[in-house]
Amino acid sequence: MASIEDGKEDEEEIEIDIEEAEQDTQPLRIARDPKLPSQDDVECHRCSHVPFRDWCRHCVQGRGRGDPHLRTEGSSIPIVGLDYFFIEGDQLKKRKELDYPEDAAGEAALEEARSSGSLIKCLIIRCAASKCLFGHVVPRKGADEEDFVADLVVKAVSWMGHTELIMKGDNEPALQALIARALELVRIKVDIVTKISTETPPTYDSQSNGGIEVGVMLIRGLFRTLRLCLESRIDRKIPVDHAVIPWLLEHTCHLLNVKTRGADGLTPWARARGRNFAQKLLGFGEKVLYKLPVKGPQAPANMAAKWEDGTFIGFSKSTNTYVMATREGGIATSRSLKRVPIANRWCPETLANIASTPWSRRERAAPEVRFQEPAAAPDEPVTVAPPPPTRRFRITDTDLRDHGFTDGCVQCTHIQRYGKTKAGVQHTETCRTRILQEIGKTTLGEARLSAHSARADRYLAEHIEHQD
């Protein structure tokens, strides 16, 4: 027994204190704590409320300012900002600077001005990391159907070469729809992008998207300068709806990318491409001689001229070539060009005849129409299927989040529990009636209900016509 007890006494007890283990924490700024003054100080301050005191409720309510936008190290993931702006006459403006109110009537008047050509809509893309800037005129028709504007964002992201990025824009519905579509296309078309997300600034706080505000300011100044310089050279006024304006806007952004240096001594072009811009600069709108390609359909014949007349209107970022407007009205690119003497360099008639735009290349040629012999009439009439019935009004997840779930509804209970709808189960009539009444209280909801009612009426008319 003595030996056993001695062995137990030799055993040591080991205790592990988990709470004493080292923990590495990120230091964060703590909100300022206002110190309470004495009662005499309070009464003395309330006589004038000067100077401002953050412990005084009335001072904070009357003169308190929001948190300042501090300069930080920035995000480790590049942020690409997007926004719309407008060119009206001789001025480049943001949406809030236009004379059209931001309501349904104002939007209708704005679209009418765009149709008449007195106002053009533009898109700005700016990377906060590389400071690369892109500006494009948004065509009036056909852009949404062919994803033309969203494809401009995709091309800019692909050119900058980011593997991770955050897209940021204000809360304008049209801009948010563009960002959503651009996200889909980037994931499909740009293989190098491994992570992409979105970020929106606080409502009615434009300074939170300050990078875009700075970009618009830079474009506004240089675009106005280049336009005035070109007009003085040709002694003509260039209307805002002319085809030269979209090319001049893109050229303005190109000059900002290749000429402006940051504190690190690099241009935005060098940050994105790893080298400086190597092509020669020319004046926008100059008459030049450009070399035709050696091979291909545009190659000259054996004894034909190898150089053609053209008008310089910009650079191609993807192929590192010059872009010219040809005498025939088309667009050509070449890696070599020569300037003409200064006396023959500027011609208002040549610039006035430019009709091609940056989006002219996406326009497809009209198909060749050939008439054929009519097909033989069938022996028996073809049975026509009845029109498909109109479905009931669809209640979305957004509707449920905005107007709440209904107690006792099996579908609502299933969505709350599992986060998705249950196949084959419908909302109860009580639930549908309540939600439809809530939806109809808003202007957008009333429009949705009206559209659904119109579809139901159209189905009823088509169904009766089919029975007849």
Beta pairing, strands 79-88 & 164-168: parallel
pLDDT at 246 over 90: yes
Q: 377: pLDDT confidence band, cut at 50, 70 and 90?
A: low
Give residue 330's pLDDT. 86
pLDDT at 233 over 80: yes
Give residue 209's pLDDT. 64
Q: Which of 230-239, 261-270, 288-297 has the lowest mean pLDDT?
A: 288-297
What one-character DSSP code corresponds to residue 442? S
How does pLDDT run across 94-126, given as a tens digit for each residue? 888 888 888 888 888 888 888 888 899 999 999
Give residue 21's pLDDT. 47
| Closest residue by Cα to residue 162 from 197, 118, 116 | 197
pLDDT at 22 over 90: no
Q: Which of 43-47, 204-208, 293-297 has the lowest mean pLDDT?
A: 204-208
The two three-digit tokens of residue 134, written as one number = 């892109």
Beta pairing, strands 195-199 & 287-291: unpaired
Average pLDDT over residues 360-373: 52
What one-character DSSP code corresponds to residue 420? S
The DSSP annotation for 329-363 comes to S-EEEES-EEEPPGGGS--HHHHHT----TTGGGP
**195 compared with 90, residue with greater pLDDT:** 195
Are 385 and 420 in contact, with CB atoms under 8 Å apart? Answer: no
In angstroms, rounded to a whole number, what is the distance separating the alpha carbons of residues 207 and 223?
23
Bond prior to 246 in cis (omega within 30° of 0): no
Query: Of how many residues is the chain composed?
Result: 468
Q: Residue 339: beta bridge partners?
A: 288
Are 312 and 284 in contact, with CB atoms under 8 Å apart? Answer: yes
Average pLDDT over residues 351-356: 89
The mean predicted confidence, pLDDT, of the chain is 81
CA 308 to centroid of chain Cα atoms: 38
Cβ-proximal residues to 219 (8 Å cutoff; 6+ apart), any chain:
85, 92, 124, 133, 135, 249, 252, 253, 256
Q: 391: pLDDT confidence band, cut at 50, 70 and 90?
A: confident
Q: What percentage of the chain has pLDDT greater than the value 90?
A: 26
Phi, psi (deg, nearest 5) at residue 395: -95, 115
Q: 8: pLDDT confidence band, cut at 50, 70 and 90?
A: very low
How many other CB atoms are there within 10 angstroms of residue 72's CB atom? 6
Give residue 106's pLDDT. 87
Q: How far is CA 341 from CA 279, 286, 287, 335, in A?
A: 20, 10, 9, 20
Q: What percentage of the chain has pLDDT greater than the value 70?
A: 82
In angstroms, rounded to a whole number, what is the distance separating the alpha carbons of residues 201 and 220?
23
User: What is the signed CA dihedral for 87, 93, 95, 97, rounded to 10 degrees?
Assistant: -130
pLDDT at 368 over 70: no
**4 compared with 245, residue with greater pLDDT:** 245
**144 compared with 28, residue with greater pLDDT:** 28
Average pLDDT over residues 227-250: 91
Give residue 392's pLDDT. 80
In angstroms, rounded to a whole number, what is the distance separating the alpha carbons of residues 212 and 82?
7
Could you tell me the residue ranges of all domains in the chain?
79-234, 279-362, 397-467
Give residue 245's pLDDT. 93
Q: 420: pLDDT confidence band, cut at 50, 70 and 90?
A: confident
Q: 364: pLDDT confidence band, cut at 50, 70 and 90?
A: very low
CA 211, 215, 220 angle in degrees (round to 5)? 150
Give residue 122's pLDDT. 92
pLDDT at 458 over 50: yes
Give residue 208's pLDDT. 55
SS3 241: coil
CATH 3.40.50.920 assigned to 79-234: no
Q: 7: pLDDT confidence band, cut at 50, 70 and 90?
A: very low
Give residue 73's pLDDT. 57
Query: How much is the pTM?
Result: 0.64
In angstroms, rounded to a whole number, what is the distance separating the alpha carbons of residues 280 and 259?
12
Half-sphere exposure of residue 404: CA atoms within 13 angstroms, side-chain side: 6
Q: How far is CA 390 from CA 37, 445, 463, in A?
A: 69, 19, 11
Q: Which of 11-15, 130-134, 384-388 has the lowest mean pLDDT?
A: 11-15
CA 211, 213, 217 angle in degrees (round to 5)? 115
Are 290 and 337 in contact, with CB atoms under 8 Å apart? Answer: yes
Q: Which long-range contacts (CB under 8 A, 24 or more apart) does 87-92 make?
A: 87/119, 87/120, 87/122, 87/137, 87/240, 87/245, 87/249, 88/113, 88/118, 88/119, 88/240, 89/118, 89/240, 90/224, 90/227, 92/122, 92/216, 92/219, 92/220, 92/223, 92/224
SS3 240: coil
**48 compared with 233, residue with greater pLDDT:** 233
CATH 2.30.30 assigned to 279-362: yes
CA 44 to centroid of chain Cα atoms: 54
Residue written as tokens 């545009």? 298
Give residue 142's pLDDT. 45
pLDDT at 299 over 50: yes
